Amino acid sequence: MLTMLCLPETLVKTAEGQQEPQQPWYLAVKRDVLAPLPKLKLLLVPSIALTVAYVSICFASLYCFNTTLPYAYSAPPYDFSAIEIGLCYISKCLGYAIGSILGGKLSDAKLRQYQLTHDGELRPVERIKTVWYGVGFVPAGLLAYGWLVERKVFWVAPLVGALIFGLGLMLVTTTIMPFLVDIKPGVGASVVADLNLVRNIMAAIGTVVSPVAITNIGFGWWMSILALMCSLAVGFVVIVVWTERTDERSEAEITQPEDLHIQYLQS
């Protein structure tokens, strides 16, 4: 609201006689509806698809967590009010804040270290290698939160698990987002848009399933299933890193004979 009301208009007015003819409304609708579809082809790139799959599973776990927290803390022995339940989300947000700061610094430091030893070369996979700092915190936080709530432990204890989960999730996200932007120069926004599409669909499914799951199997087992899914999905990232490393070795093997041939000719 402040932006809309207080910032001045910056759109340059078009002089009379220079305005382009306006398209019929149905052509504009057709253009806007079909324009995003070609961008979905980016999901056919293996490194993008695997990375998006991992982030989407973690993101769905976040919404499963968000859905279960009111059920957990509105029931005995906690019996929290709506305001008190809302305040419980602060613990997860603290994890976000810490993870956001650490994740960005670790990712940038790893990339700079690689550039110093490779003549300033920008290799996106170097960013994703710092994801290992966060992958363990995600399932650990889910397990701690789920089973501590299941056992009706003092209300602060499950929120420590929530903080750990938030820390891990943000360490993962702040590492993978720059990787997805850098891996396809010029279409980074489209890659991130594809990620948002997939992860929000997964989050919607998780939000619907989560209340049914905790009713039937309880908080502990439901969070254990999510933790297992997040742990297994780490394999997607391992495949991406291994594939990129194999490609790097192949490039080195190809360029090395060429360099030797050039040196031989110069001598």
Residue 260 is predicted with a pLDDT of 45
Q: Are 71 and 138 in contact (CB under 8 A)?
A: no
Instruction: Read off the tokens for 189.
Output: 């926004």
Largest CA distance in the chain: 83
Across the 267 residues of the chain, what is the mean pLDDT of every consecutive 10-residue run? Answer: 79 63 70 77 92 96 96 95 96 94 82 73 75 93 97 96 96 88 86 93 96 96 97 94 70 49 53
Domains in the chain, CATH or no CATH each: 44-249 (1.20.1250.20)
Residue 170 is predicted with a pLDDT of 94
Residue 62 is predicted with a pLDDT of 96
Residue 265 is predicted with a pLDDT of 53
Residue 16 is predicted with a pLDDT of 58
Q: How far apart are CA 171 and CA 97, in angstroms?
A: 10
Instruction: Read off the tokens for 213.
Output: 């799951």
Q: How far apart are CA 153 and CA 199, in angstroms?
A: 32
Q: How far apart are CA 200 and CA 192, in angstroms?
A: 12
Residue 248 is predicted with a pLDDT of 58
Residue 175 is predicted with a pLDDT of 87
Residue 166 is predicted with a pLDDT of 96
Residue 15 is predicted with a pLDDT of 62
